[in-house]
Amino acid sequence: MNTPDLWLIDLARGAESRFTFGPQIDLSPVWSPDSARVAFSSKSDTNRLEFQVFERAAAGGANPRPLFKSDDSAHPEDWSPDGRFLVYSTNPPAYNNDLKLLRLSDLRTTALVASRFSEYEGRVSPDGRWLAYTSEETGRPEVYVRPFPEGTSSVVISIGGGSEASWRRDGKELLRGFHQAQVGVIRRIAPVGSRRSVQSFDTGAPASDGSAAE
């Protein structure tokens, strides 16, 4: 049986190189901020449900090593810009997804966003102060923002459903996907560097043509 592997593509040359090798299943790659390492989820036994988080040097060489042991399936979501934290999601059997935080200095894990609803697709802002994520609290996926790493209050950014948020490099906008075949809508927010609380976000109006504001 063929199992998914990870590949690297040199965008300048168009060259492809294989990064992981079977028979394990490898998914969800996330680059470290310095591009020196890649975190990903992997499981070697296809009869088990639990994925574990591994990392490997982007240049190859040494075999992938497990970052920590999770009792539930774990998938990396994002690396904080300062390289101190890894955001990952867990998927306990018969329960909803939660977002957790791994402090890489001592491999300590803590709950980041956890409720009776599903939370996933956590993305840290470029300045490391905010977390965007998807939650199904309203009964459909919506994009929320909260302070990072210790926020407790969130504000919904999307209207009418949204998921797969990603930050613009300056942190002033979120690109989010829509359901019902509406994709690539920009949601403008206030410059995060000037904001002290999540309640002060100005969500503005979405640019439905998919173009980013300057």
Residue that is last in its domain, among 91, 116, 141: 116
Same structural domain for residues 90 and 68?
yes
Domain with 34 in it: 1-116
The CATH number given to whatever domain includes residue 51 is 2.120.10.30
Q: Which long-range contacts (CB under 8 A, 24 or more apart) does 89-96 make?
A: 89/119, 89/120, 89/121, 89/122, 93/49, 96/136
* 71-80, 150-159, 197-206: range with highest mean pLDDT: 71-80
Same structural domain for residues 45 and 70?
yes
pLDDT above 60: residue 53: yes
Question: Does the model's pTM come out above 0.95?
Answer: no
Same structural domain for residues 70 and 18?
yes
Instruction: Give the model confidence (pLDDT) of 136-175 as tens digits.
Output: 998 999 989 999 998 778 888 887 788 888 888 888 777 7
pLDDT above 90: residue 41: yes
What are the tokens at 49?
């449900």
pLDDT above 70: residue 97: yes
Total of domains in the chain: 2
Residue that is last in its domain, among 56, 85, 116: 116
Same structural domain for residues 112 and 16?
yes
Same structural domain for residues 42 and 4?
yes
| Confidence (pLDDT) at 1 | 55
